[in-house]
Structure 1
């Protein structure tokens, strides 16, 4: 009998995992919130289940692989959404994968960070993720938690900001930027859901941090426009939202050595320049 993959929060990353699961012969159910998302799930040959994880009564099918990609709700320090989902499941499946965030480490002053570093969540948003990690590891001690930084890919680039010459924080006042291409994240999640691994925690990053300005300048060059103007931290505090500032306050360089050692994974886009070029090529042209 075919294995069943259940993907909670089957958005852009989830659809990529769903496509791999279908190709492997799994029965696949993607839990989504909108008809538009459901159409994308069905397009790769999976079944879509429309559910509001906050309010609906949850009747979830048994599964052999659980992929949990839904973000927490927007307030509080606990992930009540995950609590409801896990309570609705009969028990832990053979494989469990959760995509968390590198924000659980907090500000590390630009230091290199591996998975042995204790969490130090500073924002409520990150504290909800710490709570979610603990919940899923309590539910399934063999779960694999992937701590992802900024996810980029087709239709996930700051193209409009760059074209409109929206200012960015000067690297002299900012910290390090880490990222992963969405295709690599989907591939790593599927790998973690199909193989026994030696650890619970993995930094799912391309392993090549840069200053944020380098990323924006490269994108601007590919778009054929001027590099974004720089502003100081004092000016950023006047112009940027509280959420954006909270990201900019934190600086760390993520090591993915554990991931490489345990899996031998070869990144499709270890160099973000290749990832940007491929993403722009995949995006629909401007009207």
Structure 2
């Protein structure tokens, strides 16, 4: 994939000075410099204030799990956050949580829901790609989007992709320079979307980066939640059970990586956002099961043991030989070296206990 390096655009406003009124020149020589100095300081303060406001306006295209978590953190930091979703029910739910949300329809020829994007200083794209199309927004509205954003305040954009774009390396370590080799239609669409958003950033002359995320987990979305709620495994989850390696990342580490990127913007760079421990899924579920039984055994629902469905015996975890495509171990060295990120949860062994702490603090679970 091509990497672009562009110089950033200046956001400094042009200051225009009016002629000083005649009476000002009647002041003493000692007073005049003070008046001019005070006038200059006021202009600088106003300019810094305006730049600060522009710098702190995030537009999140796709308020899913990552978008909501990140938006909540930004709001606590004093940012203005605007987001989109695709259903009335989801919009009402998000508005009830205090978010400014717009209903997004990619088939709208004028993209009316994205008018507010023009005033944003930062753009996070967190929407699924579409097989055969790539990114649905760029596929249908690239020219319109570029026209709008070229006259706006946008300084930074980030597209959230997936480590699935690497395909199968036979279990070898892969970094961002490893050639993409997507094996599924959805992964191929991700590669197309990556190229599209990086090119848009290049054409606009702004900071643009791609984050390739591992499997995302966090409060409400983890092996602990799956076990406690006795949720059925999806087809994809069942297929991944046989893998020797699975890259994953805690939602809190995604958010700190995004913040680091905002503070150190790059032009056309790609980052793997994963933890240090690409452990197999079965190992993670066995750990989660043991964690529940040790700390909160009364949380388990009455009925058939959940491990029969989702957590095989240890012997199966350690001796499973059948594997499927997508075997790889993903390196996060660039994330640490260039963005200076120190993972909060370098392994599921620290991430899952933190989620358990959250559950206990919030009186989870509630099965009624």
- Pair 1:276-2:352 in alignment: yes
Aligned to 2:199: 138
1:37-56 mapped onto 2 (5 Å cutoff): 37-39=90-92, 41-42=94-95, 45-54=98-107
Instruction: Compare 12-21 and 30-39 and name the one that shifted more.
Output: 30-39
| 2-structure distance, mates of 1:251, 1:278 | 28
1:5 and 1:64 in contact (8 A); partners too: yes
| 2-structure distance, mates of 1:185, 1:276 | 16
Residues 145 and 79 (structure 1 numbering): CA distance in 2 closer, same or farther, change over 3 Å?
A: same
| 2-structure distance, mates of 1:281, 1:17 | 20
1:77 and 1:125 in contact (8 A); partners too: no
2:133 and 2:139 in contact (8 A); partners too: no
Aligned to 1:24: 77
- Pair 1:147-2:212 in alignment: yes
Q: 1:218 aligns with which of 263, 273, 287?
A: 287
- Pair 1:189-2:265 in alignment: no
- Pair 1:285-2:365 in alignment: yes
* Post-superposition offset of 1:160: 6.8
* Post-superposition offset of 1:276: 1.1
Q: Secondary structure at the match of 1:146?
A: strand
Q: Secondary structure at the match of 1:110?
A: coil
2:106 and 2:136 in contact (8 A); partners too: no
Q: 1:71 aligns with which of 128, 145, 156?
A: 128
Residues 199 and 72 (structure 1 numbering): CA distance in 2 closer, same or farther, change over 3 Å?
A: closer
Aligned to 2:87: 34
| 2-structure distance, mates of 1:71, 1:55 | 18
Aligned residues: 273
Q: Secondary structure at the match of 1:280?
A: helix
Residues 39 and 87 (structure 1 numbering): CA distance in 2 closer, same or farther, change over 3 Å?
A: farther
1:95 and 1:194 in contact (8 A); partners too: no
| 1-structure distance, mates of 2:82, 2:270 | 25
Larger strand percent: 1
- Pair 1:204-2:265 in alignment: no
Q: Secondary structure at the match of 2:291?
A: helix
Residues 138 and 144 (structure 1 numbering): CA distance in 2 closer, same or farther, change over 3 Å?
A: same
Aligned to 2:137: 81
| 2-structure distance, mates of 1:19, 1:119 | 33
Q: Unaligned stretches of 5+ in structure 2? A: 1-49, 294-305
Q: Unaligned stretches of 5+ in structure 1? A: 235-244
Q: Secondary structure at the match of 1:174?
A: coil
- Pair 1:119-2:180 in alignment: yes
2:167 and 2:325 in contact (8 A); partners too: no
**TM-score normalised per structure 1:** 0.83
Cα deviation, 1:153-189, whole Å, max 9, x if unaligned, reads: 1221245764669796797x53311100112112212
Q: Secondary structure at the match of 2:149?
A: coil
| 2-structure distance, mates of 1:194, 1:68 | 18
Whose Rg is larger? 2
**TM-score normalised per structure 2:** 0.66
Cα deviation, 1:52-111, whole Å, max 9, x if unaligned, reads: 2345741212121010001123x3253333433544432362100111000000111100
RMSD: 2.9
Q: Secondary structure at the match of 2:160?
A: strand
| 2-structure distance, mates of 1:170, 1:53 | 32
Aligned to 2:59: 6
1:205 and 1:254 in contact (8 A); partners too: yes
